[in-house]
Amino acid sequence: MSRLEGLTAIVTGAASGIGLGTARLFAEEGANVVLADIDEQLLKQEVDNLQSEGLSVTRSTLDVTKKEAWAHTVQCALNTYHKIDILVNNAGIHRPDKLLDTELDVWHNVMDANATSVFLGMQQTIPHMQQLGKGSIINIVSVAALTGSGAAAGNGTAYSASKGAVRALTTHAANHFAKDQIRVNAIFPGPIKTPIMGERQKTIAERNKDVVPLPPYYGEARDIAYGALYFASDESRFVTGDELVIDGGSVR
């Protein structure tokens, strides 16, 4: 299949989990993909694997909280593939600290990694999409932005707040850049088995049986990637500011 044939995408947090699953699917669908991540060693390993399969991918080490790092990654995409059609803001971190237990430095770190990163990513890529005359931005949020409890929130006060900010940023950008044919949409994953869960991966199914009605009670990276593929492709050409929840029917 080639639903993204000839398009160029930047995917953040692409060395593992949802980001890697999305980058792989996009490349399989014909896109040129810049995989961006702060973990340089793991990123190189995964990009080498994808290239060995004949997929059109390259890599850029990226600290999503730094403006100059974003500028470097954007330039990498332009130098290699000459345009940017798609941006997937996926990188993020989680800290399971309740409100009264959250230290200020933790709050700032999570907000920077999860929300400031999205602001910077859109700020750096939108001008190039404007020049191109079109674009699609997909922000990976979380059902934690819709509820303060449950498995997705994981008691993370800063995490929930940061994802709420990304939800608002998505709506804001969708409204302001529709005139430029730049679509901005959000995906809200529920419980997804990814490395960010750490040791919690081992018990995810058992923990979620009471809140996720659809077996196996958790999703995988490719489930989110297919949602991103829809938003990235022309199949969603009349869709912007939308919110796609992929959570197995979780009780919220």
Instruction: Select which of 81, 159, 217, 218 is catalytic.
Output: 159
CA Rg value for the chain: 17
| 220: exposed, middle or buried (Cβ count in 10 Å: 0-12, 13-18, 19+) | middle
* Structural tokens at position 96: 């399971």
**Structure-token match 């949020």, residue found:** 141
Give CA–CA dist 189/167, Å, rounded.
13
**Structure-token match 């492709």, residue found:** 233
Q: Are 47 and 57 in contact (CB under 8 A)?
A: yes
Catalytic: 159? yes
Strand 57-61 with 32-37, pairing: parallel
Task: Return the active site residues.
Answer: 159
